[in-house]
Structure 1
Amino acid sequence: MRGRHGGWHGPGPESLFGLGERRGRGPWAGPGGPPFGGPPRKARRGGVRAAILLLLSEEPRNGYQIIQEAEERSGGAWKPSPGAVYPALQQLTDEGLIRGEESEGRKTFTLTDEGRAHVEANPPEAPWAEHADPQEWPGDVKAVFKEAAQLGTALIQVVQAGTPSQITEARKLIGDTRRRLYGILADETDEPDENEE
């Protein structure tokens, strides 16, 4: 929506660029999901089952703890849904690989002896290993996305408070910067500029 100065008064840079900070993971991690925002990705088939077996091989956990730990280990890139976790817990219980015990209103699950033997004989691959953890990115990569978040903040301020001519100048500057970024990868780029006047 337009503000009283003719600028935009809408979502901030976190919403537009997916660069919001979340739980201390830095501005390169999108809110509630992977870098640049968007919904958390799904793991490959069997990933929920593997996650449960791996996490329960470490210590007993309830369903909520399994979901939260999987999200944490993937850096927020993957969060299994309750609709996937609880049926998998029931299936593993039916197979005799885990057992659940009620405690303080929650059911805590542990591996059975059969389940522990199964994990040792068939070590599951951690599904969160498929997802890049922003904490493990090189320092330069983190710095680039931090600068991008700050650029987004500056852009929103210009759009909110700037005059039409200032906004036009900002648009041209961003277009030039985008072309120069592509130029880093190649001597020439034929990437079209849809906003050229």
Structure 2
Amino acid sequence: MPPVFSHGDLRLYLLNLLAEAPRHGYDIMQSLAERTGGTYTPSAGTIYPRLARLEEEGLVTKTADGRKTVYEITDAGRAEVQSRADDIAGIEAGLADSVRLIADEVRVSVREAMRSLRADLAAAATEAPQAAPAPPSAEEDARMRSRAQLQRAEAIISDFRGRVRGELRAHVARGGELPAETVDALHAALDAAASAAVAGLRR
């Protein structure tokens, strides 16, 4: 994947973050991770030298707040942010594109998981009615097969829940948007799959 920030863009974006509000170093790193949808998680070794350089240039100041060091933009720094508003807008547009790509990947993953669940439930519903009456020993075998299929169905549902829940939580944690229509589509697909399974059991 290409770098999130081109040469010089990170410096400018740090100034832009500080123009919004004074921040300490960890807050800056968290803000960068959130605004890039988790595609860029900078280290302290990346951020603090750049903040020190901005301080040397007279664009930011730092003050101690307990154990934390708070960085604040100066008038000179704010003037640079204002003069390069177009450049900042371009950087933010690129970050928005990265977040949209992540959201698209999550939507594709959810659709694939739902298709897999529907196929597995349909197969289980087709197999269930085919059990034929049998003598007592055969009935016991049928019950054992049913228990095995029940465990399989529970494992499938649990796997689906874990996969989708993990993807959704990771997406939101990275700052991605979770549209209502995506959740509505998930709800509708699960309702349809449940209805198909119940209908198969009642045949």
Normalising by structure 2, we get a TM-score of 0.48
The structure carrying a bigger helix percent of its residues is: 2
Question: TM-score normalised to the size of structure 1?
Answer: 0.49
Larger radius of gyration: 2
